[in-house]
Amino acid sequence: MKTNNGRLIVFSAPSGCGKGTMLAEILKNEDYCVSVSATTRQPREGETDGVNYYFLSKGDFLQKVADSEFLEYAEYCDNYYGTLISEVDGKLSEGKNVILEIEVQGAMKIREKRPDAVFVFIAPPSISELRRRLRKRGTETEEVIEKRVSQAAGELSYAEKYDYVIVNDDLDDAVSDFFAVMRAEKLRTKYSENTINEVLKNA
């Protein structure tokens, strides 16, 4: 299969795994972009509508569900989150690799709808390190932190359903592992039909 489309990348990590920092590094490469999701959660300090998320009321979110505007959506920690089709397909056809930063339930739905996507799971070095990072972020109450820690522990059991697992202990190593994955993906036989033709042409 030869295509000039970009790759769809599902990038999941329990909250506090350093996914945001990793993404900021990855997005310095202009071949990559991120799909901005819609959510019903309140914006955190420093978050901007249309940049971090489209922040919607529950009513507006459910209207988009009814209008089939989502590639997937899920409920997570009492809020809805969803991937807008409009955010994904245009960018893929422009040749960009589009990253979906989504939780595991949504990821499994993408697995069914877009089997060609690359599934990458980011894990923390340990649960205690995860708790430490969430506290350091200082954006959530202790109650919410504990809820997210137990959610994270449950999410780790989904890692085996992904194509790749990257442990984010050291940021530079984790980012370089990500690009190694994408490099290997590019060399998959099904994307390299022309490679052998080129080799034979110069016999």
Binding footprint of ligand 5GP on the chain (CB under 6 A): 15, 37, 41, 72-74, 76, 81-83, 101-103, 105-106
Residue nearer to ligand 5GP on the CB measure, 158 or 191: 158
Residue 53 Cβ vs ligand 5GP, minimum distance, rounded to whole Å: 7
Residue nearer to ligand 5GP on the CB measure, 62 or 192: 62
Residue 160 Cβ vs ligand 5GP, minimum distance, rounded to whole Å: 18
Residue nearer to ligand 5GP on the CB measure, 37 or 97: 37
Residue 126 Cβ vs ligand 5GP, minimum distance, rounded to whole Å: 19
Residue nearer to ligand 5GP on the CB measure, 76 or 162: 76
Which residue is listed with tokens 């350091």? 136
Tokens standing for 70? 């989502």
Q: Is beta strand 79-84 parallel, antiparallel or unpaired with respect to 70-76? A: antiparallel
Q: In this structure, what are the phi and psi dihedrals at residue 39, rounded to the nearest 5 degrees?
A: -150, 155
Residue 194 Cβ vs ligand 5GP, minimum distance, rounded to whole Å: 35
Residue nearer to ligand 5GP on the CB measure, 76 or 178: 76
CB burial of residue 52 (10 Å; 0-12, 13-18, 19+): middle
Residue 60 Cβ vs ligand 5GP, minimum distance, rounded to whole Å: 15
User: Closest Cα partner for 98 from 170, 188, 11, 1?
Assistant: 11
Measure CA 53 to chain center: 13
Which single residue brings its beta carbon nearest to ligand 5GP?
A: 106
CA distances from 105 to 7, 12, 45, 91, 184 (A): 20, 10, 26, 23, 26
